[in-house]
Structure 1
């Protein structure tokens, strides 16, 4: 299945983050299994569903639907774009487009989103196992590039 194709799973999480109150977004268990550190993975409650909190001001990355578990960035193998403002944090996890690399590309009139789209169309992306939000990174890439053009 193409990780960047529209999902048939339209069931929205009705659970809000227990820390900040923002509505969470469903994340496949596969995403957590791929990105949580081994010591944290050992504690996962596989019968639960999990959600991603995208609020940059909130320390919670994932929370369970019943709020029995929360995971923070230090529980993951990778930094989380929405939670970490460092220049070397990936915006596109599959093809390692960091904020810094995107900034350089835009400065030299490259079109990183077009390059990423080409990879996606060739079936090379794996956002569900690489991106902490568990979905396609292109929205984040496009939003970040737009923000650069406003500067």
Structure 2
């Protein structure tokens, strides 16, 4: 039988580089897109595809797969990595914005400890709250460290 007539069940290998900025993306679960895309964008996803998150702050693309991309304006929330406003969450599950983190550090509070306690108590929902689809502690830690350097 000719190969052209064979049915393949293999999924095409998704690109791992953002098609706009060419930076390597991080794989993200479909549930993250389903939770955070605006309805008009959600209607266009391909559930059989694998999607990646673009972490490049200067790139408008948030999610990509193959020829399809979803930009910042297609999400219900602002994206920490792509919006440096003080009111954007660094921790989406427990409401730790940059502004709140700055205030906590100035008052000698320990937001990282608070977030860790909540995570250990199995209260986080990063896969549906955080656009990167993963734990935010890295973002929080990096931001707090940047305060120490300024």
TM-score by length of 2: 0.89
| CA deviation string 1:24-71 (max 9, x = no partner) | 10000000000001111001111110000000011100001x2x2100
What RMSD, in angstroms, separates the aligned Cα atoms of the two structures?
Answer: 0.9
Following superposition of structure 1 onto structure 2, how do residues 56-135 of structure 1 map, counting pairs within 5 Å? 56-64=57-65, 66=66, 68-135=67-134
The whole-number CA distance in structure 2 between the counterparts of 1:107 and 1:19 is 39
1:14 deviates by 5.6
The whole-number CA distance in structure 2 between the counterparts of 1:124 and 1:15 is 31
Matched with 1:8 is: none
The whole-number CA distance in structure 2 between the counterparts of 1:107 and 1:14 is 43
Following superposition of structure 1 onto structure 2, how do residues 14-25 of structure 1 map, counting pairs within 5 Å? 15-25=16-26
Secondary structure of 2:115's aligned partner: helix
TM-score by length of 1: 0.89
Matched with 1:54 is: 55
Matched with 1:40 is: 41
| CA deviation string 1:105-131 (max 9, x = no partner) | 001110100000000011100000000
Corresponding residue pairs, total: 137
Runs of 4+, deviation exceeding 4 Å:
none
Q: Give 1 or 2: higher helix fraction.
A: 2
| CA deviation string 1:68-95 (max 9, x = no partner) | 2100111000000000011000000000
Structure 1, unaligned runs of 5 or more? 1-12
- Name the structure, 1 or 2, with higher relative contact order (CA <8 Å, separation 6+): 1
